[in-house]
Amino acid sequence: MQCSQCHGNNIKVIESRDVNDCSAIRRRRMCLDCQFRFTTYERIEKPQLVVIKNDKTRQLFDRNKLLNGLFRACEKTPVTSLELEHLVDRIETQLYDIGEHEVESAQIGKLVMEDLANLNEVAYVRFASVYRRFNNIKGFEKELSLVRARQLSNQKN
């Protein structure tokens, strides 16, 4: 481990704790050379998932790519980065629970849409616009009508 400030190797772990239902360990560290403090996460390494894109090409699943897309969808909304981390954790767990080494990108998008709809409606519509490739206003209108229908359904329950 190397300090990101002074690049020294004299690092001490100050605190460790489990996060994400014991699927990761958060460690607070301190560089003994420059006193800089930082956080690292250790996750269990799982077999690599391969994503089958719409054009049938394949690429490795990248949780950071998914997280970055969600950050863009959630810009200027009250959704926190911790909520997005938990959302990606849930999606990743669902993907591994399927038990397949290859997953279609449409399946990932569907899982994200279901979870994001419950988190924030504006982020949901933004993500949907990219995921469903809206070409015109009718696509937005259709998605907004689905959001309204979901709201009415939730109000009745």
pLDDT, tens only, 67-88: 999 999 999 999 999 999 999 9
The structure tokens 């990101």 sit at 4
DSSP alpha helix (H) spans, the chain:
63-73, 81-98, 105-119, 121-131, 137-156
Domain assignments of the chain as residue spans, ordered by start: 1-45, 46-137
pLDDT per residue as tens digits for the range 3-30: 989 999 999 999 998 876 677 889 999 9
* Alpha-carbon dihedral sign for residues 102, 107, 111, 113: positive
Beta bridge partners of 102: 50
114-125 pLDDT, tens digit per residue, is 888 888 888 888
| Contact criterion met (CB below 8 Å) for 23 and 46 | no
Question: What digits encode the pLDDT tens for the residues 82-113?
Answer: 999 999 999 998 998 888 899 999 899 889 98
Q: Which long-range contacts (CB under 8 A, 24 or more apart) does 128-133 make?
A: 130/69, 130/73
pTM (whole model) above 0.85 = no
